[in-house]
Structure 1
Amino acid sequence: MAPMALGLILGWCLVAASRAWHVPQPSLLLHPSQGVSLGDTVTLQCHLPRLAAWVKFYQEGHLISYKYPGKEQDRAEFSLVDIKQEAAVRYWCQYELLYTARTSETSEPVELVVTDHRFSPPEISLSPEKYVETGTNITIRCWNQDYQGIFLLHKDGCSAPIQHQDPDGGGTATFTLFGVTPADNGSYRCSYRAKAYPLVSSPLGDRVILVVRPTHAPPDAGVPPRQPEAVQFQVPPGDSEGLTYAELHAVNAGPWLSGLPAAPQPAVIYAEVGTAGPH
């Protein structure tokens, strides 16, 4: 057999063997994943294929638990009870097949953010206030005089902070929303995290509400002009010419006159509609 053909066959065999021995990566979830405070209980859930395997749980690289969920289970659980500040770190899991001793990759890490209610919530301000036009730049300031740390900007409905900022030791952070649109409508709040414990958070502060007005079309756009209405006007007695008059109420003359100043009172036009005959 030619060397090139033999090399291709061996390469194919190695790829096939690698795929056959591939162990899928597990995934790790926290329950609950948000709103965890000091003293709460959090459960780590490691999801894996329905294979007989031992599951390992890690806290910042250190093995903290080793569990066997059983052959028919697709997940293993480990609970953290009476959460302390030290528990606000990253976690991941991994599993080892029971009969082959092959080990999976570790899961993607998850961060446990813990709220410490001993921290006072930050203050917040919005400029310009509340109602703005589309395209406006918005400034949101967050501050706290008691603690220093990293400030985070939250929007209600978003699971993760939308911006964060380290004010370099100061107690105020300034966030900017550039060229806002109606999609930016909503309530915004701030929190901060102590630098010593980057995943320990203050409670959320008060909210500010942003309402972005969409750009409107001109009021007269697409509206057909009204026809003038004629109202009969009484002929003054003793009119030697025997004329008949009508009172015509002037209306908007259309977009070609829109630049002219509006009259303070409705205009009245008198038109000759009949005569007594030739002299």
Structure 2
Amino acid sequence: MSGWSDSGWGLRMQSWGEKYNQSNLGSPDCVSSSDTISRPTLWAEPSPVVPKGADVTLRCQGQRGRNRFQLWKDGELQEERNTSWHLAEFVLREVDDWRDARSYRCRSGQGPLWSELSDPLALVVMTGDFPKPSIAVSPSPSVLAWTTVTIQCQISSQQSSPDYNFALLEAKSLQVLQLQSLSRSQPYFSLPFVRAEDTGSYGCIYYRKTPPYKGSHPSHTVKLTVSGPLPKPTLWAQPGLVVAQGTNITLWCSRPSLASSEEVTYTLLKTGTWQPLRNQNATDLWTDFSLPSVRPEDTGSYRCTYKDRTASGAQSETSEALELMVTGSLPKPSLSALPGQVVEPGKHVTLQCRQPLQPELWRATFILLKVGSLQPLQSQRPVGTSAVFPLLSVRAQDAGNYTCVYKKTFFHQVSEPSDVLEIWVTDASPKPSLSAWPVSEIASGTNVTLLCQGPPWTTRFVLHKEGSMDIIQDEAKFFLTRVTSKHSGRYSCSYQLGTNGSLWTQHSDPLQLTVKVSSNTLLITLSCVIFLLLCFLLLVCFCHQYIPRAADFRGNSFRRFFCCSCLSQDVCLSHHLEDPKEETLYTEVAKERPKESSVPIDKDVTYAHLNIKNLNERQTNPKETSTEATLYATLSLD
């Protein structure tokens, strides 16, 4: 017997991976091999057993993040492709019994890394090369539930050989249910403890053990009928069980897969009503019942069932009850956390839901809800007006938003939900964020605000700056006034967890604050530097440039005023003695002063200095006009 017999019998709901294991038609020794974590899954649609000339799709599913896939046939690489998802499809058109009836594997990869190869998948192509087998059911085609049934696949003695494997198939879909090696000419397939969902049509084939995997055509079909109720379906609601008035609700009823793929009738029921709410026929494994714009009277308990539309007419068990609550009929309660909203991992927290103090609301049922969960977490019916819901040994997944409602069962009244209460587990606390207002690049001398954003219950924040002391305060806003270049740097922040002063969250992502010197400041500074530089250059020029003698009759004192302030007196005097004679300024008419005359002289006498050189030039070249200036000096003689 192959590994399929160990997992029980029946075409019940299976994942793609389970379908793959049941579709592996290699040697029975490979059937029950376990997948490793990195190994992908390979299966065939519509089946690994197909007639010659049919199209087959081989699907390879890897882990999330894998986007490269390879298909191998008989140990040789056949095709490689990239996908945007973790699933690749390889289509084989018009399969041939020699070319395509082979052993296939696949592997997935990301970048240069590749996974292990999947388990082998044998693709069996049915041809007319072999006679059809025959099939028989024991003890009877019609049995009671929990009976053990045996199906025998028979071939002629001429075909008896250890080179063949046998497969039990679902007749319509050709899905492989069990495998058997040929140990005798009449292999048996055992179906222990059959149930109503095993009702259906079956067939069998045999095929070569080695490639190419040529197979016989299927045997004739045998119908198996199992008396008893069909397995119960599952009922769930979208978008949830607790909704506001006017919301559109969809109730989904799903059933297990049956050996018979005939049409079934789904029925929606509500507790307290005599007639079914709705009936729907479908061949799918699920159907939907729409409840548009629900009202408070839609509050109640719902169930679903289904019935086989074949001659058996088997009826399923009813699903588990689904409690739908339409809120808004009663005042909303309040929800609080003890000892607080921030909890360390492994600690306990108690959520208390309290209704308004109205006597007529006593003996209500309280329900604790978590946002994002389709099912209520806890339900209580206390004597008083409040209920406590313990959360024991909280973990990171217990963090989230909670709310509660209460209801009066007999009147289908449900309160409005309480305000959302957020519970934080310290190892799952969110990282804060730090932002600058108005911008993170500001001019020198302006003001900037750094905002540290955390959960709404946060009361204490700390601002970190690389190379500086931390700033701790009870506000999320940190004000920096008249900033300078020293305020530039990388900032981050964190917040305190609960009342424990030693518990702080991780730092936020760093924020780079840049303080720029304003253009006006630069212009003023540059202007001052240029002005001082010009003054210095002018001073140097006055110190080292010769001053003309005609500037004043007190030439020596004038030169000393501008020169000797920066040079020594000896340097200034020596410079005065070395002046050229032709450039000397005269204030006298003759070198020697004439003797005192008896003729009276006025106090103010005007002397003229004549440039002899110009006079000579005028005599030699009277046509040219002298460009030399004539200097005059007026002396006051006392």
TM-score, normalization by structure 1: 0.58
Q: Residue 267 of structure 2 contacts residue 280 of structure 2 at CA under 8 Å; is this kept in 1?
A: no
Q: Which residue of 1 aligns with 2:598?
A: none
Identity of aligned residues (%): 22
Q: Which of 310, 315, 324 is the aligned partner of 1:104?
A: 315
Contact 1:58 1:93 in 2 (8 A): yes
For 1:211 and 1:178, the matched residues in 2 are separated by 14
Q: Deviations over 1:236-264 (max 9, x none)?
A: xxxxxxxxxxxxxxxxxxxxxxxxxxxxx
Is 1:21 aligned to 2:228, yes or no? Answer: no
Determine if contact 1:153/1:189 at 8 Å carries over to the other structure. Answer: yes
Q: Which amino acid aligns with 2:352?
A: R
5 Å-filtered alignment, 1:222-233, equals: none
| Pair 1:175 & 2:389 matched | yes
Instruction: Between 43-52 and 124-133, report the one with greater CA deviation.
Output: 43-52
- Alignment equivalent of 2:398, drawn from 184, 199, 209: 184
The 5 Å alignment of 1:127-206 reads: 127-145=338-356, 146=358, 147-148=361-362, 149-168=364-383, 170-197=384-411, 200-206=413-419
Larger radius of gyration: 2
Q: Is 1:69 aligned to residue 281 of structure 2?
A: yes
Aligned position for 1:94: 305
Structure-1 separation of matches of 2:247 and 2:390 = 35
Q: In 1, distance between residues paired with 2:321 and 2:373?
A: 17
Structure 2 letter corresponding to 1:212: V
Q: Would you say the 8 A contact 1:134–1:182 is kept in 2?
A: yes
Q: 1:133 to 1:91 in 2, by over 3 A?
A: closer
**1:141-198 per-position Cα deviation (integer Å, ceiling 9, x unaligned):** 2211243311122233333222222221x11122233343444322322211223256
In structure 1, distance between residues paired with 2:338 and 2:236: 38
CA offset at residue 100 of structure 1?
Answer: 0.2
Q: 1:99 to 1:202 in 2, by over 3 A?
A: same
Q: Distance in 1 between matches of 2:401 and 2:231?
A: 41
Displacement after TM superposition at 1:68 (Å): 5.3
Kindly indicate which of the two structures has a greater share of residues assigned to helix: 2
Relative to structure 1, the CA distance from residue 91 to residue 163 in structure 2 (aligned partners, 3 Å threshold; closer, same or farther) is: closer
Structure 1 counterpart SS, 2:281: coil
SS at match of 2:416: coil
TM-fit CA distance, 1:138:
2.0
RMSD: 3.4
Q: CA deviation at 1:205?
A: 0.9
Q: For residues 232 and 391 of structure 2, what CA distance do their matches in structure 1 show? A: 38
Q: Secondary structure, in 3 states, of the residue corresponding to 1:21?
A: strand
Q: Counterparts of 1:195 and 1:212 in 2: how far apart (Å)? A: 34
2:367·2:376 contact (CA, 8 Å) conserved in 1? yes
In the alignment, the residues of structure 1 paired with residue 372 and residue 319 of structure 2 have an alpha-carbon distance, to the nearest angstrom, of: 24
Do 2:371 and 2:401's aligned partners in 1 also have CA atoms closer than 8 Å? yes
Deviation at residue 84 of structure 1 after TM alignment:
4.1
CA distance in 1, matches of 2:142, 2:312: 22
> Is the contact made by 1:29 and 1:110 (CA closer than 8 Å) also made in structure 2?
no
Unmatched runs of 5 consecutive residues or more in structure 1: 1-8, 215-279
What are the Cα deviations for residues 195-232 of structure 1, in whole angstroms up to 9, with x where unaligned?
Answer: 3256x532221122333335xxxxxxxxxxxxxxxxxx
1:42 partnered with 2:257:
no
Aligned to 1:271: none
Aligned residues: 203
Distance 1:202 1:41 in 2: 19
Q: Which residue is equivalent to 1:210?
A: 423
Q: Distance in 2 between matches of 1:65 and 1:189?
A: 31
> Residues 21 and 202 from structure 1, CA distance in 2 versus in 1: closer, same or farther, beyond 3 angstroms?
farther
TM-score normalized with structure 2 length? 0.28
What code does the residue aligned with 1:162 have?
L
- Where structure 2 has 5 or more consecutive residues not aligned to the other structure, the ranges are 1-137, 150-193, 199-223, 428-638
